[in-house]
Amino acid sequence: MRTSLNIDDNLLADVMQSTGEKNRSEAIRVALSSYLQQQRKNKILALRGKVDIDDNWQKLRELEIEE
């Protein structure tokens, strides 16, 4: 999708340097993907201590093998 954006030249240069990308579009794509991945991790980490998970993977594996 083609989009026009007004991005500070210094910020864009920093993003390109940080990502190691030579192409502006690719640098922005990499930066956005990285940002979204970090946000997803933060949401999962925010659940730490709030979700009770049974550690029964071995039992489930045995049931899976029996079938």
Task: State pTM to two decimals.
Answer: 0.69
Which pLDDT score is estimated for 42?
Answer: 96
Q: pLDDT digit string (tens) for 1-54?
A: 889 999 999 999 999 999 999 999 999 999 999 999 999 999 999 988 887 777
More confident residue, 57 or 44: 44
How many domains, in total, are found in the chain?
Answer: 1
Q: Which residues contact 15 (CB under 8 A, 6 or more apart)?
A: 27, 28, 31
Beta strands in the chain (DSSP E): none
Q: Is residue 54 part of a domain?
A: yes
Q: Which residues of 53-65 are buried (b: 16+ CB within 10 A; e: fewer)?
A: eeeeeeeeeeeee
Q: Is residue 2 part of a domain?
A: no
Q: Which structural domain range is residue 18 located in?
A: 9-66
Pick the closest to residue 5 from 18, 24, 31, 21 (CA basis).
Answer: 24
Q: Is residue 1 part of a domain?
A: no
Number of H helices, E strands in the chain: 3, 0
Which pLDDT score is estimated for 62?
Answer: 87
